[in-house]
Amino acid sequence: MKIPDGPRLPFLLQSPYLIARPLEFLEKCARNYGDTFALRFFGPKSPPVVFFSHPQTLQQIFTLEEEKFEWGKLTYVFQPLTGAQSLIMLEGKQHQAMRHVLMPPLHGKQIYAYGEAIVDITKEIIDGWKVDRSICIRDNMCDISLEVILRVVFGFKEGTRYEDFKQLIKPFLAGVSSPLNSVQFFFSFLQQDWGAFSPWGRFVRCRQQIDDLVYAEIADRRDRNTGEDILSLLMMARDSQGSPLSKEVLRDQLMTLLLLGHETIASALSWAFYWVHKQPSVLEKLDRELESLGSDADAIAISKLPYLNAVCNEAIRIYPIAIISEPLLVKETIELEGYNYEPGAILVPCIYLAHHRSQTFSEPEKFKPERFIDRKFSSYEYLPFGGGDRICIGKAMSLFEMKLVLATVLSRYRLALSDKHPVKPVRRGVTIIPSGGCQMTVTSLREEVKTQKRSARLEVSSK
Ligand code: HEM
């Protein structure tokens, strides 16, 4: 099979390079070979792994007929966490049907119902910030996004079950994503329960405790469904046969939303805080826009602010949280850009490189929110949430939450980056997070700044 050109680097070095320094490696390949290049991870004669970033080709890939490929199953490593019936484990008709059930609570006007909770949670968590103290933005954003999932998705707020769940879930998620522990998800032979002190044994026991709490909550809700959170809405939903979802199916979807909707938003917000404070002109402009709303603005009004929207979009353009979209494994020969990809080839839509094409985004390495005000980008040019049938179901909710958290924090505090050196993007799985979590210092309360500005204006006018 004739395939696009790609790095001459020996195949045994290609994947370690990509894993160790993904952005540098991808940029180098794009510079040398353009929008499309082939890697040979599995040996010189094995099927190629081809990366794409041209919008037209991405459009073709995202609209391919289903029978031509199967999903690359990158997310399958999460199965011990999310369960086999999770949306991310399903394919074809079952996948579409589950998306149909999950989309309404995460879409359209429904997300406005979560606005008050998001703002309240943000206020509760930032209440403890003190002037002159250093804070890790990512840790704080993780606390906010976790609390949002617990309240908005699971409907947990207070009480013993909520406290127990929180106690269990934090170390559970931290353990899952720690580099050492996460190895066991990639290799099934490591998944052996050798008692409560073995790594897998610990994981399985903790998961059981979490499941017990989730099932107890579901059982309670069968009697008193409030209809206010996503679990309640899912319990009212019916599958294609008209039946309610079983407790196991509900549990799998809740764990999926928790896993995919927690750190992603926290990382996106950390990048937004970083860029806003890296470039004082952006903060100034954002401040003016937020002030123009007045102090009693509601969540919907905040979410419609054009510059705030542009800042959030640009933050996940420059470092999209996911480097790639779900890869496709070719099942029937697929023709793209004049090449025929035979069964076994892997096609990878590359979000990071699509966002760094200078033909689409001028000076792509610069943070310029204005580009989202001056122009509308197609969903194949700008795709932080992926594309096609598996596009992120949390897209609307993520942008809404990002805007509310950013606006709430900036209306309360003045912050400054603690370190003058640029924060670097570091890989975590297939996501990019800010190195060191983005350390910032609370320099003053917003009210003090406003009073100082007001008195300075008065002084000037009285002269
Ligand atoms: C800024 C935050 C987020 C980013 C950048 C993001 C990005 C993505 C990307 C790139 C994908 C893969 C799409 C593809 O393969 O083409 C995805 C899938 C997914 N995301 Fe998100 N996500 C975010 C937040 C969330 C939130 C808040 C939730 C849920 C509450 C969520 C739930 C999911 C689910 C369930 C999928 C799998 C969809 C499927 O397989 O059909 N994500 N996300």
For residues 29 and 19, give the distance between their C-alpha atoms in angstroms, rounded to a whole number. Answer: 14
**Out of 44-48, 84-88, 156-160, 187-191, least confident range:** 187-191
22-44 burial code (b ≥16 CB/10 A, e <16): bbebbeebbeeeebbbbbbeeee
Could you tell me the two tokens for 2? 């004739």
Residue 179 is predicted with a pLDDT of 65
For the stretch 354-410, pLDDT in tens is 999 999 999 999 999 999 999 999 999 999 999 999 999 999 999 999 999 999 999
Which of 221, 223, 224 has the alpha carbon at shortest distance from 250?
Answer: 221
Mutate to test the pocket of ligand 1, among 52, 53, 107, 260 (most ligand atoms within 8 A of CB): 260
Q: Name 210's Cβ contacts closer than 8 Å, sequence gap at least 6.
A: 165, 168, 169, 172
Would 170 be classed as within a structural domain? Answer: no
The more confident residue out of 413 and 459 is 413
The percentage of the chain sitting over the pLDDT mark of 70, rounded to a whole number, equals 94
Q: Which atom of ligand 1 is nearest to the CA of 256?
A: 35
The pLDDT of residue 296: 78
How far apart CA 52 and CA 105 sit, in angstroms, is 33
**Tokens standing for 295?**
């102090």
**Position 180 in a domain:** no
Q: How many domains are contained in the chain?
A: 1
Name the pLDDT band for 253 (thresholds 50, 70, 90). very high
pLDDT at residue 180 greater than cutoff 70 = no
Check pLDDT > 70 for residue 111.
Answer: yes
Least confident range from 130-134, 192-196, 273-277, 349-353: namely 192-196
Tell how far the Cα of 384 is from the centroid of ligand 1, in angstroms.
Answer: 9
Which residue's CA is the nearest one to ligand 1's atom 5?
A: 321
pLDDT exceeds 60 at position 457: no
Q: How far is Cα 388 from Cα 46, in angstroms, rounded to an integer?
A: 27
Give the pLDDT score at 453.
Answer: 58
pLDDT at residue 459 is higher than 60: no
At 25, is the pLDDT very low, low, confident or very high (cuts 50, 70, 90)? Answer: very high
Neighbours of 407 (CB within 10 A): 23
Mean pLDDT over the full length of the chain: 90
CA of 131 to the centre of ligand 1 (A): 35
185 alpha carbon – ligand 1 mean position (Å): 20
Integer Cα distance of 242 and 253 in angstroms:
18
Q: Tell me the CA–centroid distance for residue 386 and ligand 1, in Å.
A: 8
Do the Cβ atoms of 431 and 264 come closer than 8 Å?
A: yes
Q: Which atom of ligand 1 is nearest to the CA of 397?
A: 27
**CA 327 to mean position of chain CA atoms:** 17
**Residue 448 clears pLDDT 70, i.e. is over it:** no
* 210 assigned to some structural domain: no
The CATH number of whichever domain residue 90 belongs to comes to 1.10.630.10
How far, in Å, is the centroid of ligand 1 from the Cα of 351?
13
pLDDT in tens, 113-141: 999 999 999 999 999 999 999 999 999 99
Q: Which residues surround ligand 1 with Cβ inside 6 Å? A: 87-88, 99, 256-257, 260-261, 264-265, 268, 316, 321-322, 325-326, 384-388, 390-394, 397-398
Please give the residue that has the higher pLDDT: either 268 or 178: 268
- 395 found inside a domain: yes
Residue 218 counted as domain residue = no
Give the Cα separation of 171 and 415 in Å (integer): 29
Q: Could you tell me the pTM of the whole model? A: 0.93
Name the band, by pLDDT with cuts 50, 70 and 90, for residue 54: very high
Report yes or no on 256 lying in a domain: yes
Rounded to the nearest angstrom, the distance between the alpha carbon of 342 and the centre of ligand 1 is 29
CA of 378 to the centre of ligand 1 (A): 18
Q: Has residue 338 been placed in a domain?
A: yes
Which residue's CA is the closest to the ligand 1 atom numbered 43?
392
Q: Give residue 356's pLDDT.
A: 98
**Whole-number pLDDT of residue 38:** 95
Which of 270, 385, 389 should be mutated for ligand 1, with most atoms under 8 A from CB?
A: 385
The domain of 41 spans: 11-155+226-462
State residue 452's pLDDT score: 61
Q: Is residue 387 part of a domain?
A: yes
Identify the residue with better confidence: 47 or 398: 398
